[in-house]
A and B are shown apart, each in its own frame.
Chain A
Amino acid sequence: MVITYLESALAKTASSWAASVAGLDPLAQELLVEPSWKLSGVLLGTALLGGAMIDEGAMASSRALEFLDQSLRLGQANMEDSDKYIESNLLITDYLYARAIDEVIAIDAPPVIGYLARAIMATASDRAEGEFADYRRHLLAAALEIGSFLGGIEGPQAEAVAAAAVGAGQLGAGDWAKAYPPGPVRDYLRQSLTTAAG
């Protein structure tokens, strides 16, 4: 039942994402790829673990995260070919960063903006150090942190999610899920995290 609810929320997120994309500059639209929705799945699933219903705040945050994923993907794809990056994609990545932030203004949740901003900064720091391939771990971390915040997760569970966020991308589902009661959402998240990290 709960997985059906989660999948229905993901479908709604996908359709609201399509509406947002339709409002983008055509040049940006051309460069987008269909999201895998794994980041959204992690965000929404984490919020559900906290017992929250999935509302516009969670869906807007998911859309923001997917915009950020598109932007960082474009950046990464071109970091090894700086001429191509500069010519075709730099302004689009800037535009998508701004759209990602703007997507969550209406939900009045500055911490969500903080998590998105820190994913941009962490990726930039990695790239400055010569690490180009691992931006998704910062997005996964943001998905977990945002889901935890929106789900109102507190105490040891919040610590477990924070630990998972720190180790995101390296956790292979990780031990963090042990902090939660067994159940379909935990299994869903375990699987989503494993595949989203890959």
Chain B
Amino acid sequence: MRLSGRQRPVSAGIIKRLDAFEPHFKTVIRPALGQISEPALKAIEAGGKRLRPALVMISADVGGALDDPRVMQACGAVELVHLASLVHDDVLDASNTRRGVSTINAEYGQRRAVIIGDYLFGLAFDLLAKGNNNALIGPLAKASVELSRGELRQRQTLRRLDQTVDDYLEKTYAKTAALFVAACMMGARAAGLGPKEEGLLEDYAGSLGMAFQIYDDILDFTGTEGELGKPVGSDLREGTVTLPIIYTLLSGARQSVQAALAEPSAEAVARAVADVQDCGAIDEAKKVARGYVERAQGAVVGLPANQAQRDMISLGNFVIDRYH
């Protein structure tokens, strides 16, 4: 589901630029060799909400800089880093589908998918370097370090039952929220916003990113295979210990989750999913996610009361609503 699809949580001005972003985004990959460009284009065309580009645009709009050419560059770069991480994620998880579409590794093999992810990452920074604007590169570089560190942590802690809520939140920030922050910082810098606005946007983006990931982890238990584009309970199957799983473990309903993490047979996963759904863990996790959305929406109160502010509040509601 794209932000520019039927459900439109952002203003017409942002939708218009998101629509213009799509063809622009495809052109960045065209100069690559056929061995690269075909699968890379496929990764680009596989869809996604383009939430990070939208955040770049909205943050730039705070300072009235929506049409600054650096905004499109920043949108492309942040989405490329995001795509690179998804492509490598699918390699590591040996996933065959994402959003209902076959993955790069499923179609072109694991090795080629590794190469495509590398290329997309390099391309992101090449794109920004050509714009010769270090102020925009810094946030993306920092977020890329965080993102890869978060992924490393996640792999190191697969199937471990001794993880706390704080461990989960720290990983979630690194894995997801840091790139949301980078998107907003890049938009803010393209617009030349001051430190106060940057601080508020950082708080907004970090909180929104946390809420987004927590809801995503909830959806793994409450969605349908059709909505998810992958089987329900995939996190359990892969051994990723998410917030609903941690709350289930804390509720005392440990046995089924422990069994599914140790030996993820279809029956064991189905039993554990039922326990996660029934023990109150989903409500607990939703409470945490809603808290982050409230914090995000609270942060933007300090920004000018204009369309950009309304878009940011609306995006917060979108993150909650898309699960209901």
Enumerate chain A interface residues (CB-CB to B < 8 A).
25, 27-28, 75, 79, 82, 85-86, 90-95, 97-99, 101-102, 105, 108-111, 113-114, 116-121, 123-125, 127-129
- Asked if B126 is at the interface of the complex by the 8 Å CB criterion, the answer is yes
Distance A110 CA – B141 CA, assembled complex (angstroms): 12
Nearest residue (CB) in B for A121 is B122
Residues of A near B130 (CB, < 8 A) are: 114
Specify the main secondary structure of chain A where it touches its partner: helix
- B-chain residues with CB within 8 Å of residue A105 when the two chains form the complex: 134, 137-138, 141-142
Chain B residues with CB under 8 Å of A119's CB are 122
Q: Which residues of A contact B110 (CB under 8 A)?
A: 82, 86
Which chain A residues border B118 with CB–CB below 8 Å?
A: 75, 93, 97, 120, 123-124, 127
Residues of chain B within 8 A (CB-CB) of A91 are 88, 92, 148, 151-152, 155
Q: A114 contacts B126, CB within 8 Å?
A: yes
Contacts of B144 in A (CB 8 A): 97-98, 101-102
Selected from A75, A98, A121, A123, the residue in CB contact (under 8 A) with B147 is A98
A118 CA / B152 CA spacing, docked (Å): 25
**Which B residues are CB-close (under 8 A) to A93?**
118
Across the interface, do B152 and A95 meet the contact criterion of CB distance under 8 Å? yes
List residues of B (101-146) whose CB comes within 8 Å of A's CBs: 110-112, 114-119, 121-126, 128-134, 137-138, 141-142, 144-145
Report if A120-B128 is in contact (Cβ < 8 Å); known contacts: A82-B110, A85-B114, A129-B35: no
CA distance A90 to B32 in the complex (A): 22
- Does B92 lie within 8 Å of A86, measured CB to CB? yes
**Pair B128/A25 contact, Cβ less than 8 Å:** no
Range class of the B interface residue count: 35 or more
**Is B169 at the interface (CB under 8 A from chain A)?**
no
Asked whether, in the complex, the Cβ of B121 is within 8 Å of the Cβ of A94, the reply is yes
- Can you list 29 contacts pairing A with B, beta carbon distance less than 8 Å? A75-B114, A85-B111, A86-B110, A91-B151, A94-B85, A94-B88, A94-B121, A95-B148, A97-B118, A97-B121, A97-B122, A98-B147, A101-B141, A102-B142, A105-B137, A110-B129, A110-B131, A110-B137, A113-B125, A114-B129, A119-B122, A121-B122, A121-B126, A124-B115, A124-B118, A125-B33, A127-B111, A128-B116, A129-B35
Q: Please give the residue numbers on chain B whose beta carbons come within 8 Å of chain A beta carbons, in ascending order.
A: 32-33, 35-36, 84-85, 88, 91-92, 110-112, 114-119, 121-126, 128-134, 137-138, 141-142, 144-145, 147-149, 151-152, 155-156
Residue on A with the closest CB to B121? A97
Q: Are B152 and A90 in contact (CB under 8 A)?
A: no
- Measured between beta carbons, the chain A residues less than 8 angstroms from B35 are 125, 128-129
Given contacts A91-B155, A121-B119, A128-B33, contact A82 B111 (CB under 8 A): yes
Using A28-B152, A98-B148, A120-B121 as known contacts, list a sample of 19 further A-B pairs with CB atoms less than 8 Å apart, ordered by residue number in A: A27-B156, A82-B111, A86-B92, A91-B155, A94-B121, A97-B148, A98-B141, A105-B134, A105-B142, A110-B131, A114-B129, A117-B122, A120-B118, A121-B119, A121-B123, A124-B122, A128-B33, A128-B35, A128-B36
Contact A111 B36 (CB under 8 A): no
A99 near B145: Cβ-Cβ < 8 Å: yes
Contact A94 B138 (CB under 8 A): no
A90 to B115, CA, bound (A): 10
- Complex CA distance for A105 and B111, rounded to whole angstroms: 30
Residues of A within 8 A of B85 (CB): 94
Which B residue sits closest to A96, measured CB to CB? B148
Contacts of B111 in A (CB 8 A): 79, 82, 85, 127
- Bound CA–CA A176/B207 (angstroms): 54
- Which residues of chain B are within 8 angstroms of A98 by Cβ–Cβ distance? 121, 141, 144-145, 147-148
Kindly state the separation between the CA atoms of A82 and B105 in the bound complex, as whole angstroms: 12
Q: Which residues of A contact B145 (CB under 8 A)?
A: 95, 98-99, 102
